[in-house]
Amino acid sequence: MQRGFKRNFEPLKVLTNSQVEQIHAASLNVLEEVGFKYESAKALKLLEDHGCEIDYDRMIAKIPPSLVEWAILQTPSSFYLKARDPEKSVRFGGNSVYFFNSAGARYVDIDTGIVSTPTLEQNNLGVLVSDALDSVHAFPSYTPYFEIEGVQPVMSCAVSCAQRHRFSSKPSRGAQPTYTYIWETMIAQACNAQIMGCVEGAAPLSLAEDPCNAAFHYLEAGFPIYIASGSVMGGSHPITIAGASVSHNAELLAIIVLLQCIKQGAGVIANNFVSAMNMSTGDLNFGTAATSLHQMAFNQIWHSYYKIPITNTGSAFSNAKIIDYQLGAEKLPLAMCSALSGANLIVLHGGVTAELAYNPILAIIDDDVANTIGRIVEGINVNDDTIGLDTIKEVGSTGTFLSTKQTRTYWKTEDYMPKVFDKTTYKEWIDSGKKTVIDKAKQRYEEIIATHKPKPLTEEQDKEIDKILKEAEEFYKKKGLI
Amino acid sequence: MLRRQKLLDKEVLDSLRSIVINFDIDNAEEKAKEAIQKGVDPLEAAKVLTDAIREVGDKFGKGELFLPDLVCAAEVLKKAIPIITDEMQKQGKTSQSIGKVVIGTVYGDIHSIGKGMVATLLYASGFEVIDLGVNVKAEEFLNAVKEHKPNILALSALLTTTAMEQKNVIEGLKKENLRNKVKVLVGGSPITQEFADSIGADGYGATAPDGVKVAKRLLGIE
């Protein structure tokens, strides 16, 4: 199993206990008085059986607070996700901190910032690189690219899932639109793996038919579920962080209620992807203080109060178009705050140009970022050996610690040594032709694609995936979607 | 007497302009009713309101105003304009628009912000806009084209997975022999010029102000 990182100190809190309770109480009030829209008769009937008041015409369920509290209690504080390679499985929850690969609609040229639709080969190389990076622990759906040249849009999730299983043995998350959950479930099962199901709400306060169907399907397969309700403050959620926290909380709790009614004890990880809005364009404003504060409040409520595993997407993207200072300044503070405030899974590697683009070179740079964050959350090991009182006395006021046994023992674990950040002296930097972090990442990229061999699928598994993709294609053709 | 009426009219029209540029949603209906009661020409009232939202739209385009300003100004018009147009109908008067647009977010997609911005800016530029809302099925777009006979059909999609729905609408127009009767303008985050060309759209707007420019170009308006 992949260990990830362990946060060895209390998570950072941005709310008082009474503020947490106030947000929770308001969330319950919204679900009880306004209700939540589930666009599925099957889901509504199930919720009615569990005591919800249903308006079938409007597809609204008013959820009693007791049912919400019950659902929170049924949701485990951690769950295991089985990868096709058991060594790559993960356990989300508790004090663990893992990193998710990020994604982009298209491939971005690192030097020019120009985006284009990636080829299947570029997609596969992107997966292979992340398979090689030890700080990428799992993949979301349609990762690394939303679109692949020559692949029909309706097939993109299924093809992306297939290629992730072919070029990586790390676990994946599924998707929900247009029956794609059928094929993603089949692909994972063909590889003797689990996939993390996906049930994403549509703010404000609704869950479309596809995610409702996906919930039943993924849970029937015995898979844990990733839930989300992405939104933008001032648009689909209130502009205030407190108000947006209530709306978002209510939405995720409504999804948790449905999941626990379908399968009591189902493993769930709740995502936060609530962004600030660019008030000039209506686009998402990444890397802002409000986005980070919303995530931290969410982490505190869900980690410490509900004790349900959590993931944060806020640091996945930047509005920067190229790898520059803005990109680092927008992504790193959010990722750091996520890790410090209790996130179990942080989406980070490779995303640039808002959600528009991805590049594996950036994923390689983000590998150093993730490992640095991971080292920070591991905290400080305090014992007789690490204090080393004898060593301090021995060196006294005249010696050096460089040659001590303590240094030899601990220098590699006390700090993280970045692989591509420039740590040369000024002269070395001049002599090297002024190599930048991007140059060094490109070099590491070449090394990875020349040497890294992902654990292969068996021939039968590979053939089975081909069969599933053909079946999916026929299915969509019959539906007139291809 | 005439001079006094003119002064009164100016005062009322200034007050109408003021509710738009100050985003005064709460007083929009009241001020519109007041204008009618005081005998202001409804055509003049409508012109003041549309000039004011155009001013807001221009300032938005220049980055001097922001999205909440634009949306609130549009809300003012939503409340005030029906009162003014009712009076125009009573007096048998009609106002001129530079073109008619049917707009909506395609089926499967509930994103409304971008579509709303384009609708507001089109209106501010003098277009008559029929907004079908979000999650609009292809057949609803086709019915709206038949009913309203717009110059432009504007389709928004924010998701990669719903972008192809724009193509479905265009294919539907072809099947119903409506394709040559309306220009199709597409936009949304996953949409590119290449995609717009590939599905047979007439125009693509990368941003809301860009969408308005393309709409005007499609109708041969400078």
Amino acid, res. A99: F
Distance from the Cα of B199 to chain A's closest Cα (Å) equals 13
For residue B2, the model assigns a pLDDT of: 66
For residue B123, the model assigns a pLDDT of: 86
| Mutation target among B135, B160, B191 for the A interface, most CBs of A within 10 A | B160
Across the interface, of A153, A178, A278, the residue whose CB is closest to B163 is A153
Across the interface, of B60, B113, B164, the residue whose CB is closest to A153 is B164
A179 touches chain B (CB under 8 A): no
Least confident of A478-482, B41-45, B62-66: A478-482
For residue B124, the model assigns a pLDDT of: 83
Mean pLDDT (chain B, rounded): 90
CA B199 to chain centre: 24
Whether the pLDDT of residue B5 is over 80: the answer is: no
Measured from the Cβ of residue B94, the count of other Cβ atoms closer than 10 Å reads 10
For residue B1, the model assigns a pLDDT of: 53
* Interface contacts A/B by beta carbons within 8 Å: 48
Q: Which residue of A has its CA nearest to B67?
A: A279
* CA pair distance A304, A70, nearest whole angstrom: 17
> Which of A386-395, B64-73, B126-135 is modeled with the greatest confidence?
A386-395
Distance from the Cα of B94 to chain A's closest Cα (Å) equals 34
Residue B37, CA distances (Å) to A180, A304, A392, A405, B121 in order: 59, 61, 91, 93, 29
Whether the pLDDT of residue B7 is over 80: the answer is: no
A177–B66 C-beta distance less than 8 A: no
Q: Which residues of B touch A355 (CB under 8 A)?
A: 189
Is residue A440 classed exposed, middle or buried when 0-12, 13-18 and 19+ CB atoms within 10 A define those classes?
buried
User: Max CA-CA distance within chain B?
Assistant: 64
* CB proximity list for A178: less than 8 A, separation 6 or greater: A154, A210, A476, A481, B161
* CB proximity list for A109: less than 8 A, separation 6 or greater: A115, A116, A359
Query: Is A260 in contact with A303 (CB distance < 8 Å)?
Result: no
CA A139 to chain centre: 8
A114 touches chain B (CB under 8 A): no
Phi and psi at residue A288, in whole multiples of 5°?
-100, 165
C-alpha R_g of chain A: 23
Each residue's pLDDT expressed in tens, for chain A with a length of 482 residues: 999 999 999 999 999 999 999 999 999 999 999 999 999 999 999 999 999 999 999 999 999 999 999 999 999 999 999 999 999 999 999 999 999 999 888 888 888 888 888 999 999 999 999 999 999 999 999 889 988 999 988 899 999 999 999 999 999 999 998 899 999 999 999 999 999 999 999 889 999 999 999 999 999 999 999 999 989 999 889 999 999 999 999 999 999 999 999 999 999 999 999 999 999 888 889 999 999 999 999 999 999 999 999 999 998 899 999 999 999 999 999 999 999 999 999 999 999 887 778 999 999 999 999 999 999 999 999 999 999 999 999 999 988 999 999 999 999 999 999 999 999 999 999 999 999 999 999 999 999 999 999 999 999 999 999 999 999 999 999 988 88
Token pair 């905290």: residue: A379
B67–A156 C-beta distance less than 8 A: no
B163 touches chain A (CB under 8 A): yes
Is residue A359 classed exposed, middle or buried when 0-12, 13-18 and 19+ CB atoms within 10 A define those classes?
buried
Cα–Cα nearest to B166, from A231, A157, A153: A153
Amino acid, res. A305: Y
* CA pair distance A138, A347, nearest whole angstrom: 9
A355–B110 C-beta distance less than 8 A: no
pTM score of the predicted model: 0.89
Q: Which two tokens stand for residue A85?
A: 């390679």
Q: Which residue of B has its CA nearest to A145?
A: B160
* CB proximity list for A375: less than 8 A, separation 6 or greater: A5, A415, A416
Is residue A419 classed exposed, middle or buried when 0-12, 13-18 and 19+ CB atoms within 10 A define those classes?
middle
Whether the pLDDT of residue B117 is over 90: the answer is: no
Helical ranges in chain B per DSSP H: 2-21, 28-37, 42-61, 67-90, 113-124, 138-148, 160-175, 193-198, 208-218
C-alpha R_g of chain B: 19
Amino acid, res. A84: R
Distance from the Cα of A114 to chain B's closest Cα (Å) equals 13
- Summarised one tens digit per residue, pLDDT across range B142-197 is 999 999 999 999 999 987 778 888 998 999 999 999 999 999 999 987 788 888 99
